[in-house]
Amino acid sequence: MNSADITTVKSILSQPQKIAIIPHRNPDGDAMGSCLALYGFLKKKGHTVHVVAPNDYPKFLKWMPENDTVINFERENPKAKEVINEASIIFTLDFNDLSRVGQMEQVLKEASADFIMIDHHQQPSDYAMVTYSDVTMSSTCEMVYNFIEFLGETDQIDADMATNLYTGIMTDTGSFKYRSTSSKTHRVVAELIDKGADNMAIHQEVFDTNSPSRLHLLGVALSNMVILPEYRTAYITLTQDELDQYDFKKGDTEGFVNYGLTLEGIIFALIFIENREEGIIKISLRSIGDFSVNEFARAHFNGGGHTNAAGGRSETSMEETISRFNDILKTYKYKLNP
């Protein structure tokens, strides 16, 4: 954030505001961690604050402090719309284009509030009055810590806020192993632990609460993995029937795509997941090094994200999607084998 934006935000927050905080659709740990931490901070400053999530999110995130205050737009539509329509300020966290909120998009576009964006994805839109965008950041949670630091109020971060911020940084950095994890990230994490984040308990809550059906589904996913060494690529497919067989719950496939990158020599990994209700194949893409899955997803699968982590979608069948992907991949052989 530049000095003018900091001054603007300080001025805005010096008076009581009605504030809505919005994560992207299908929010992950970084989205919910940043929203819930900012919620706690703004409540302490005397504002009327609500987090409105576009839809549900995984069970392994619902232990987080203040989770019970979140309004689900799909389930609590009238209340969610009232909060958004009455808001004077709307924070959008962990996304940078209003299309990322699904059916909430039109409601946000019609809102009279001023917007403040905090996000680390590439190619931000220009809808916000204040845009704090930094693609080098590990996570939006690290940016929310910086945001509070810019305001000179890190002393207001309590154990609950620290827990939520730690959760988002941990999940969005792959437990601190991704390239975006900087020395500053580790210094922020150290501060959060000092402020009360119990790192061992957080890891257990997120990673060690699997159901037997999720582990069986992981087994199916790994047995479906296709390895293409000539393209340094591996991909997984999961059909709706396979998801149904193992009682799929939201979040059960989280992290599955990363198993491809644990193979020696593989730098590009994908997972294709059928969603019969929406009529799409949801695609998650990951890479190591300089191969940009953001560019790949934007060019071919109506998606985008970061250089090494992105998402996309296909509106054709699984068989047609995989066939098309294999044809596209042939044109990337030399980029994947520089």
**pLDDT category, 302, cuts 50, 70, 90?**
very high
Closest CA to 139 of 119, 161, 125: 119
Q: What pLDDT digit, counting tens, does each position of 210-241 carry?
A: 999 999 999 999 999 999 999 999 999 999 99
Write out pLDDT tens, residues 110-122. 999 999 999 999 8
Domain with CATH 3.90.1640.10 in the chain: 3-208
CATH of domain 3-208: 3.90.1640.10
Q: What angle do CA 84, 154, 24 make, to 5 degrees?
A: 30
Average pLDDT over residues 18-34: 97
Q: Is the pLDDT of residue 107 over 90?
A: yes
| DSSP structure class, residue 62 | T
What is the average per-residue pLDDT within 251-276?
Answer: 96
Residue 305 is predicted with a pLDDT of: 87
What are the φ/ψ torsions at residue 286 (nearest 5 degrees)?
-135, 155
Question: CATH assignment of 212-336, given 3.30.479.30, 3.40.50.970, 3.20.20.70, 3.10.310.30?
Answer: 3.10.310.30
Reply yes or no on whether the pLDDT at 335 is more than 90: yes
Residues 6+ apart with CB under 8 A from 103: 54, 73, 74
Pairing state between β 89-93 and 18-22: parallel
Mean pLDDT of 232-261: 96
Span(s) in the chain for CATH 3.10.310.30: 212-336
- The pLDDT score that the predictor gives to residue 338 is 83
Q: Is 108 exposed, middle or buried (0-12, 13-18, 19+ CB in 10 A)?
A: buried
pLDDT at 99 over 90: yes
Q: List pLDDT tens digits, range 188-205.
A: 999 999 999 999 999 999
Q: What is the mean pLDDT of residues 23-43?
A: 97
Residue 239: the pLDDT is 98
In tens, the pLDDT along 140-163 reads 999 999 999 999 999 999 999 999
Is the pLDDT score of 179 beyond 90?
Answer: no
35-80 pLDDT per residue, tens = 999 999 999 999 999 999 999 999 999 999 999 999 999 999 999 9
For residue 272, the model assigns a pLDDT of 98
